[in-house]
Amino acid sequence: MSKVLASLPIGEKVGIAFSGGLDTSVAVAWMREKGAVPYTYTADLGQYDEPDIQSVPGRAKEYGAEGSRLVDCKLALVEEGFAAIACGAFHIRSGGKQYFNTTPLGRAVTGTMLVRAMLQDGVSIWGDGSTYKGNDIERFYRYGLLANPKLRIYKPWLDQDFVTELGGRKEMSEWLVS
């Protein structure tokens, strides 16, 4: 049996990494409308671009989340950063430019910490708003399985019904305000 679900698990709890952006807001509202029971988990990594991280779980509830949690991931990110420095893996060079591994480290921490929080809530299906175009969809999938090997995966952007109905940002924006 595949751990990756091709369609929305109706009537089941689905945990989603929630940023409060368009993709995750629409995913939560759409899942609720179609019969799933969305729970949202927001990672607090000390993001500089989110002035009021405490408000994000409340926004998720406005879009239909049954439960919503803010998970403090700052210490875990610091620990992983120190481990990367100790291993000489904090940055790489590619094309003559230095690339810091902060995003991959953040994804590892987010994936494992949020899935652990989901376990506490009895949620065993994990999703996020990452599209099929980048590598975040794979990162979250693999890190989630490290925290819970029995985890099932539901990715809205891999669900043909979601893509057909809400195929782009324009369509998502229009759907959200309708």
Does domain 4-74+110-177 sit in CATH 3.40.50.620? Answer: yes
Q: What are the tens digits of pLDDT across the range 54-99?
A: 999 999 999 999 999 999 999 999 999 899 888 887 777 777 887 7
- Whether the Cβ atoms of residue 11 and residue 117 lie closer than 8 Å to each other: no
- Cβ neighbours of residue 71 under 8 Å, at least 6 residues apart? 41, 42, 43, 44, 113, 114, 117
Q: Is the pTM of this model over 0.75?
A: yes
Q: What is the pLDDT of residue 137?
A: 74
Residue 128 confidence (pLDDT): 80
According to the model, what pLDDT value does residue 103 have?
A: 82
- DSSP states along the chain: --SEESS--TTSEEEEE--SSHHHHHHHHHHHHHT-EEEEEEEES--TT-TTGGGHHHHHHHTT-SEEEEEE-HHHHHHHHHHHHHTT-SEEEETTEEEETHHHHHHHHHHHHHHHHHHHTT--EEEE---TTSSHHHHHHHHHHHH-TT-EEE-GGG-HHHHHHS-SHHHHHHHHH-
Structural domain boundaries in the chain: 4-74+110-177
**Is pLDDT at 1 greater than 60 in this prediction?**
no
Predicted local confidence at residue 132, as pLDDT: 66
* Residue 2: per-residue pLDDT: 63
Digit-coded pLDDT (tens) for 125-157: 998 877 766 777 788 888 889 999 999 999 898
Question: What pLDDT, in 10s, does the model give residues 3-47?
Answer: 889 899 999 999 999 999 999 999 999 999 999 999 999 999 998
